[in-house]
Amino acid sequence: MGIRGRFAPTPSGRMHLGNLLAALLAWLDARSGGGELVLRIEDLDTQRTSRLFAAQLLDDLRWLGLDWDQGGLEPDYRQSRRTACYEEAFRLLEERGLIYPCYCSRTERMAASAPHREDGAVVYSGRCFRLTAAERAELEGQGRRPAWRVRCPDLSVTVEDGNCGTYTENLARDCGDFIVRRSDGVFAYQLAVVVDDALMGVNHVVRGRDLLCSAPRQAWLHEVLGYPPPRFFHTPLLLAPDGRRLAKRDHDLDMGALRERYSPGELTGLLAWYAGLVDRPEKVTAAELVPLFSWAKVPKNDVVVGCP
């Protein structure tokens, strides 16, 4: 089967340089292998995302010379319209006895958690897993609405990342029971991304390295739900000179500012240089990069971008 990749941005603001690097590499990975690319809009959180940002995102990608074969603004490729698919997967996990309600507030969650992981997340202690039926009923009686967690087994899951190499986590110890549905009913990223990648036939997941720590639990969920797990490729993060990760709130490096300062060719050249595909940041088109692309050239570590 050919490569079927995807780019899955969250339309919560204008893309920044780091998002563009991930998009370009996802595009190059698919195109250099003669594969297809899906553009999925991750707008699960309707409070933080908007259709306007999604439309802007499509325009920014096209401006850069990137295209896709399916997806975009079509409802089938917008997570906010795919609740029925997530419901079904949730039910399957429930049937397997893997789901339980968690009544902890954020403060309680922090207190009931093991020390922070390297990525800043906390490993949930499983406190609500041990609630008795009577305790659950009491909390329900107080009007507490639970979030829903999936129970993680004491299992080491290894992901052979196509860029970063071998990455292993013990699900119970390093990850902990994670939320698959929020207390307001919205499905969580971890469940939605697995269901979508599987149902959309995605077999190459290319995205920023900040999500490498999600790969083992996602690979495991794929297996539990009966889907073949995709191959993962995590791309270097771009860091500001002070070591901070670029974020959407850094407007100086978002697409609005970048489009004023660079032509598409210049910006693509800069990204290609960060990605190790060219020796100098010179004007180039995405299409011209296709024969130059290889994961062997892409840095494994984060890249400090100075002041582009």
Residues that bind ligand GLU (CB under 6 A): 8-10, 42, 193, 207, 211
Distance CA 251, CA 291 (A): 33
Q: Pick between residue 31 and residue 207 the one whose CB is nearest to ligand GLU.
A: 207
- What is the β-pairing status of strands 147-150 and 178-181? antiparallel
CB of 235 to ligand GLU, least distance (A): 10
CB of 208 to ligand GLU, least distance (A): 7
CA-wise closest residue to 238 among 26, 19, 15, 18: 18
Residue 254: exposed, middle, or buried by beta-carbon count in 10 A (0-12, 13-18, 19+)?
A: buried
Q: Which residue is nearest to ligand GLU (CB)?
A: 207
DSSP β-bridge partners for residue 168: 158
CB of 42 to ligand GLU, least distance (A): 4
Distance CA 164, CA 241 (A): 23
What is residue 172's DSSP assignment? I
Q: Pick between residue 211 and residue 275 the one whose CB is nearest to ligand GLU.
A: 211
Q: How far is CA 72 from the centre of its chain?
A: 17
Q: Pick between residue 99 and residue 211 the one whose CB is nearest to ligand GLU.
A: 211
Q: Pick between residue 42 and residue 177 the one whose CB is nearest to ligand GLU.
A: 42
Q: Pick between residue 86 and residue 103 the one whose CB is nearest to ligand GLU.
A: 86
Looking up tokens 């609630």 gives 131
Angle value at C-alpha 234, between 231 and 239, nearest 5 degrees: 175
CB of 256 to ligand GLU, least distance (A): 17
Residue 190: exposed, middle, or buried by beta-carbon count in 10 A (0-12, 13-18, 19+)?
A: middle
CB of 144 to ligand GLU, least distance (A): 29
Q: Pick between residue 14 and residue 284 the one whose CB is nearest to ligand GLU.
A: 14
CB of 170 to ligand GLU, least distance (A): 22
